[in-house]
Amino acid sequence: MTQIHPTAIVDPAAELDSSVSVGPYTIIGPHVRIGAGTTVGPHCVIEGHTTIGRDNRIFQFNSLGAIPQDKKYAGEPCELQIGDRNTIREFCTFNIGSPGDAGVTRLGNDNWIMAYVHLAHDCMVGNNTIFANNAQLAGHVHVGDWAILGGFTTVHQFVRLGAHCMTALSSMLVADVPPFVMCQGQPASARSMNFEGLRRRGFSPERISAVKAMHKALYREDLTLEQAKARIAELSAKTPEAAPDVAMMLSFLDQTTPQRGIVR
């Protein structure tokens, strides 16, 4: 049977797998679904149209699935979707989406979310990310796989963070962060590429060399963005092994708007 503490309040309409455990004084609403092996600590509130996958560890004092902090929200049945094997530490707040976007806030799989993290409405977070304490995402922010956000990182609405990027302590992001880039500052500027992280993830020396060449084109050769993209596109022929990395970078840069731009 599902292990529900006697002081917890779980709506009869909620769908919890039989292996789910729920701690003391937690409240779970009627439109919540929680998958096998997930543990929910004490004093949590999980509400709204919230779906949580398998084997997640949700620590105490979290608020998941509350309505967005958006004055335009009028009660629409938007959603929060959380994948599998995520760790969500204390005092995090994840809101549902809003009708002004896809209507969904989404956290992928295998993410490590530390205390006091905020995911606002319509944020899309990939897999294998790390958010240090007090990382704060405004609405409509997209974060790619393997991104690492340093403590007290704040992200402006609609900003995108590419895969494998990294932010330093107290970074303030008002522009897109391309894949692989390490940035720092208020507002943040690019410092280097996340080479050590790529080595730890098994990137070959050839792929890392291609990432270095992308960094050089974007930040070291005084090129316009269009010129840098042309230079980066040439790397696929020179280093076929890095062709997926080059394609990912070009796709990201193609979606950056002139109004937002990239960190410089």
Among all residues, which ones are annotated catalytic?
A: 121-122, 139
Structure tokens at 245: 């990395």
The answer to whether the CB of 242 falls within 8 A of the CB of 253 is: no
Residues 247-251: contacts with CB within 8 Å, 24+ apart?
248/162, 248/163, 248/179, 249/162, 249/178, 249/179, 249/180, 249/214
- Amino acid letter at 22? V
Degrees to nearest 5, angle at CA 9 with 66 and 135: 35
The answer to whether the CB of 117 falls within 8 A of the CB of 129 is: no
The answer to whether the CB of 217 falls within 8 A of the CB of 230 is: no
The answer to whether the CB of 176 falls within 8 A of the CB of 191 is: no
Q: What residues form DSSP beta bridges with 80?
A: 50, 105
Question: Which stretches within the chain are classed as H helix?
Answer: 195-200, 205-219, 225-233, 235-238, 243-254
- Amino acid letter at 199? R
CA 111 and chain centroid, separation? 8
The answer to whether the CB of 66 falls within 8 A of the CB of 95 is: yes
The answer to whether the CB of 208 falls within 8 A of the CB of 192 is: no
